[in-house]
Structure 1
Amino acid sequence: MNAPQTTAAPKGFQLGSTLYSFTNEWHERRYGFEDLIAEVAKRQLGPGLELIGFSSIRGFPNVSDDFAARFKDLMAKYGLTPSCLSINADMAIRRGTMMSIDEAVAYHAPQIEAAAKMGFPTIRCQFAAPVEVIIRLLPLLEKHGIKIGPEVHAPLNPSSPPVMAWREAYAKANSPLLGFVPDFGCCASRLPATYIANLRRQELPEDLIQLALEVWQLPKDAGWKRQEFARRVEPLNADPADVSALAVMFNILSPGTAEMWKEIMPQVVHVHGKFYDFDDNGDEASIDYNSILPVFHDGGFTGFMSSEWEGHLYMRNVDAFEMVAKHQAQARRVIAKHTGAAA
């Protein structure tokens, strides 16, 4: 049996991992579900543990009594804490039509029940479903005492129209269970060098790569950037496939400031600590955690931040557990420096 988690979390919030970080290890069948949990504990990458329901649980959202009991036993055995269950909206699951509000409510309800059964206090939902769906589900959330929030993921920010629509609905509902899940990919200062290197490995034209990087830096939303990029490459007679491949960068990361999160800080229910790679000092090379984490500490956030390594999308033969360990080490350094506490 592995020893329970003993690693101290930074003051102000708690650390944890999402199993999404270990996608390569999971898909390559190097680790099963319980193996991943055991390894997270062994490497002291908790105490929080986040799952994506449809990715990690066979038959989700149907969760058997035996599976729920086994999961709780694993949490106790390894000294981990269920932090957040990520669920799906899947509004376009049927070809040619979108779910109605009633259908979406019915689709979300068993996922909420699964979270309650497994002991998750927080759910990450998606903006794909109208906010009315979540408001309709508020009685179920209240029954179980579960907080919920959509992920504010690049290219969105707290002032983006979709987020503002939810903020307005939240103000009317006035429930402490309704919130948001910031993703720090909204606060990138640049695209990861490893991501750009991957574009070059695909033999995309260098002039198009540089043009896309120029457009990415502009202070506009992703839709505008895609149109602007298309406008600029049109005279070049570029291969549409190349243009499409490069336009993806406008959605995976976006420029933003740490200060912007103050707008929704009281409603932050969970955090995705997105990261890709590190510089020679052990700091995330594209996202300024030195600025972001103090804002959350000073803002009074006391929930979990899941270390979410997304480099697995294009990096192979990299130990995701080591990457998460680096991310959490940086988080501890930043908060220790900010608070004057020993790291």
Structure 2
Amino acid sequence: MAPALPDNWTLCASSFNWIPEITAARRTATDVVIGIADSVAKTIELEPGLLWRSFPAPQDAEVDELRDSLAARGGRVSIVGASLDDFTSPTDRRSLQERLDFLVPQLSAASRVGARGIRLPIGQAGTELLTLLQPLLHELDLVLYEEIQGQQTPNNPSVAPALDAIAGLADEHVRVLVDISMLMPALPVTYLHELRQGGVPSDLLARLENDWRDPATLDAVIALLRAGKVPPRIHTLFMNLLIRFGRSDAADLQGILPLVGAFHLKFWDLDDDGGRVSQPLHDLGSLLRGTGFTGTLTSEWGGHEWLQDDPTEMTRSHLALAGAALAEPAAVESAAVEPAPAARAAL
């Protein structure tokens, strides 16, 4: 019998994966999300800025339409991606009260659609705003997740104070969401192909292919950028090396696990050469098992930036791979005891 996930781990799909289809507008965004529940996963993380025309103050009718349509198919919402627009102009920052007022309609919509929580970038809210939000989070029974991803690390000077603030609140309604783009043993094969086709120098390509985690590789990336030698047509793609692709190990998360309530299982393509897709999942499964983690693990595809693959097939295949990779450590650890509980796959 194949190993299974613990009952309190829930695999989900992010509507972010369908950005190309949503922006193509051949179907309504609501129909795209309903299609996810029909054919990929019953539990879905929403990106409401792509979904509700009235966002960031979603109208009840839009929210109700999606909630009812999903419920009719046995679907539900896990987390809603929130937005906090801190500035009203390039120089005018919103006051604390204005920032709160900007978020409140989004919390109300998340509750109305039946979500478990909302998501913001790590540290953006700040302690003062988090404290103001706590009563509403409790009233609506929502969790605010602050996301750490890519090149960010728990001991990063821009991240550590935010983690300390969350720990200081000691509130189950304010948690951390970890995107495993932090845990990349190697760069995606298809991404390297795009860089090669785009004209990145061969010596840097060799470093990126063979020594991604070597700090000297990042130094070489920055040097090329500062020298103005990044080909213009791949400049945006090249910036992923500085922001979206991380070089941490799963063990680096050990100290913050008590604060973590959810994960994004970020993937870029499904070429698993050398375990570049599956190894972080294996490592995460080993790290989490036995910790008491209860939460969502959401398939999030970032490779549509350069790939034209079908998001439905990509996500379905990734969820199958992720479920197997996350569960595999259980087969080793529980071989001498009773079988692992049945998976709560939410598919």
- Asked if TM exceeds 0.5, the reply is yes
Structure 1 pair 240/263, CA: closer, same or farther in 2 (3 Å)? same
Query: Which residue number in structure 1 is paired with residue 141 of structure 2?
Result: 145
Measured after TM superposition, the shift of residue 183 of structure 1 is: 0.1
**Would you say the 8 A contact 1:91–1:129 is kept in 2?**
no
Q: Report the equivalent of 2:267.
A: 275
Instruction: Specify the alignment match of 2:190 in structure 1.
Output: 194
Correspondent of 2:67 among 67, 72, 78:
72
Deviation at 1:165, TM superposition (A): 1.0
Q: Percent identity?
A: 25
2:118 paired residue among 117, 120, 123:
123
| 2: CA distance, partners of 1:24 / 1:172 | 40
TM-score when scaled to structure 1? Answer: 0.85
1:117 shift after superposition: 1.8
Which of 158, 161, 165 is the equivalent residue of 2:161? 165
CA RMSD of aligned residues (A): 3.0
Match for residue 316 of structure 2? 325
- Pairing of 1:15-164 with structure 2 (within 5 A): 15-43=11-39, 45-127=40-122, 128-164=124-160
The letter for the 1-side match of 2:94 is M
- In structure 2, relative to structure 1, the CA distance for the partners of 1:142 and 1:9 (3 Å cut) is farther
* TM-score (structure 2 length as normaliser): 0.84
CA shift, 1:199, in A, is: 1.6
Give 1:214 deviation, angstroms. Answer: 7.5
Per-residue deviation, residues 219-240 of structure 1 (Å, max 9, x unmatched): 49xxx946x6444777x77368
Correspondence 1:249 to 2:241? yes
**Where do 5+ consecutive residues of structure 2 fail to align?**
332-339
Contact 1:9 1:15 in 2 (8 A): no
**Deviation for aligned residue 1:31:** 3.5
User: Per the alignment, do residues 152 and 264 of structure 1 end up closer, same or farther by CA in structure 2, a change over 3 Å counting?
Assistant: same
Q: 1:21 to 1:237 in 2, by over 3 A?
A: closer
The number of residue pairs the alignment matches comes to 329
Q: Distance in 2 between matches of 1:298 and 1:185?
A: 23
CA distance in 2, matches of 1:264, 1:200: 37
Q: Distance in 1 between matches of 2:326 and 2:316?
A: 16
| SS in structure 2 at match of 1:148 | strand
CA distance in structure 2 between the aligned counterparts of 1:173 and 1:114, rounded to whole angstroms: 24
Of residues 329, 334, 344 in structure 2, which corresponds to 1:338?
329
In the alignment, is the contact (CA less than 8 A) between 1:13 and 1:301 conserved in 2?
Answer: yes
How has the CA–CA distance of structure 1 residues 282 and 320 changed in structure 2, closer, same or farther, with 3 Å as cutoff? Answer: farther
